[in-house]
Amino acid sequence: MREFYSLLVPVLFSLCLLGCANRSPSGGNGRDALLLKYRAAADHMRRAEFDAAKPLLDDAVTTLGGLTAGDVSARKARGYFQSESRKNFRGEPYERVMAFFYRGILYWMDGEPDNARACFRSAQIEDSDAEAGKYKADFAILDYLDGLVTAKLGGGSTDFLTRARSNARLGPMPDYDPAANILVFFEMGRGPTKYSSGEYGEQLRFRTGTSRSTAVVLTGAGLSVRVGPSDDLSFQATTRGGRQMDHVLANKAVFKGATDGFGDAAIVSGAILAGTAGRRTAADEVGAGLLIAGLVSKMISAAATPSADTRAWDNLPNLIGFSAFRLPEGSHQLKADFVDASGAVTLSRTISIQVEPGTRDTVLFLSDRP
């Protein structure tokens, strides 16, 4: 009876601690609010519901613009007994880049190319903390667009084009045409996803995305252009390298392993002592103590949560690209064929556009995602 109560007290006490520690500080939806906005915004973009996407992306870039120092959810996520996914979701750099990228497209649609450029610049900054220097701020399309806006606004764009070309891995980046008035942004395929590996799931890993389409062929209005993608989000996701949070998770994993190992050793030792010694002897007491300590240690180990946060903006594309050309004022019909590597059409879209007089660009967004 005494042993039973001796065991029950620490068990309940630990439960008390663990039960409280596992409560959400801000609720599930609060943590995932940005993630839900990301996903909804991408859906709206694909349905050409740009006015609906705008406030969602505004919220997103505003949130991303704020610093997270002092964020309670982040502090808790670093704790031994809270999982990383307890923090408010902001996404990995490639996800944050896409929020700024989409918002930049919408600014350009609204005739604010300088604010679009601001978004492309912020996007590039989001990508600037890769571990290896050559992968820092290496989205070719972002430098290219930065330069194009600058050229259109009368500034020098040579450096931007040089940087874009040095980062271009999927194909050549054409010279700028500041007079181009039709700007086509396109995206293809399904983007990277996240999973965790390691003994306790403490290592964040990325599964590369796929895309059947590899290019877009634009025809109509005297045009026939084949345009390939500029950037691959899977490449971006997998070349970021280690995060500082990975060190935190590794420490959590060590803690979890150590407490688990101690628990095993203590339980086995305690059981042997208690089993071999006579009842109510000193060795029996020590054995019981070791058993209890082992159980508590096992419970602490069980409560430690080193698993990496695998929440992901899971409706991103795998490839993104851009093309610019000139069309005269008036109504035009364009056909956009997404094609695979063999040239077979994977999806065809017909676009009616009205080119207005003046200097405002006509911005199109095409996706092969439903």
Partner 1 sequence: MYRSSVFSLQQLTSIALAAVLAGCASSGVRNPSGNGVTVLKADEQGFVAGTGVESQDIVTVTDKMARSILEVPQIQRAQGQPRVVLLPIENNTRFAINKDVLLTRIRARLNSQTRGKVMFLARERMAALEKEQQLKQSGQVTSGSDANVVEFQGADFFLTGKLDGSTTKSARGVSDYVLYTFQLIDARTSAIVWEDLAEIKKQGLDDAAYR
The residues that touch partner 1, with contacts defined as CB under 8 A, are 1-2, 5-6, 8-9, 12-13, 15-17, 19-21, 23-27, 61, 65-72, 74-75, 77-78, 84, 87, 90, 103-104, 107, 112, 114-119, 121-122, 125, 128-129, 153, 155, 243-245, 248
Nearer to partner 1, 8 or 283 (CB): 8
Nearer to partner 1, 104 or 229 (CB): 104
Provide, rounded to whole angstroms, the least separation between the CB of residue 225 and partner 1.
30
Provide, rounded to whole angstroms, the least separation between the CB of residue 346 and partner 1.
34
Question: Residue for token digits 């705008």?
Answer: 54
Nearer to partner 1, 67 or 341 (CB): 67
Nearer to partner 1, 153 or 344 (CB): 153
Q: Distance between CA 287 and CA 276 in Å, rounded?
A: 9
35-71 burial: b if 16+ Cβ within 10 Å, else e: bebbbbbbbbbbeeebeebbebbebbbebbeeeeeee
Provide, rounded to whole angstroms, the least separation between the CB of residue 230 and partner 1.
20
Query: Any idea what DSSP says for residue 89?
Result: P
Provide, rounded to whole angstroms, the least separation between the CB of residue 147 and partner 1.
13
Provide, rounded to whole angstroms, the least separation between the CB of residue 204 and partner 1.
12
For 130, counting Cβ atoms within 10 Å of its Cβ (0-12 exposed, 13-18 middle, 19+ buried), the class is middle
Provide, rounded to whole angstroms, the least separation between the CB of residue 152 and partner 1.
12
Q: Measuring CA to CA, which residue among 369, 370, 366 is closest to residue 334? A: 366
Provide, rounded to whole angstroms, the least separation between the CB of residue 310 and partner 1.
15
Query: Any idea what DSSP says for residue 88?
Result: P
Nearer to partner 1, 18 or 327 (CB): 18
Is residue 262 helix, strand or coil?
helix
Nearer to partner 1, 104 or 209 (CB): 104
Nearer to partner 1, 86 or 190 (CB): 86
Residues 6+ apart with CB under 8 A from 40: 53, 56
The CA-atom distances, in angstroms, between 225 and each of 87, 154, 211, 220, 355 are 45, 27, 20, 9, 19
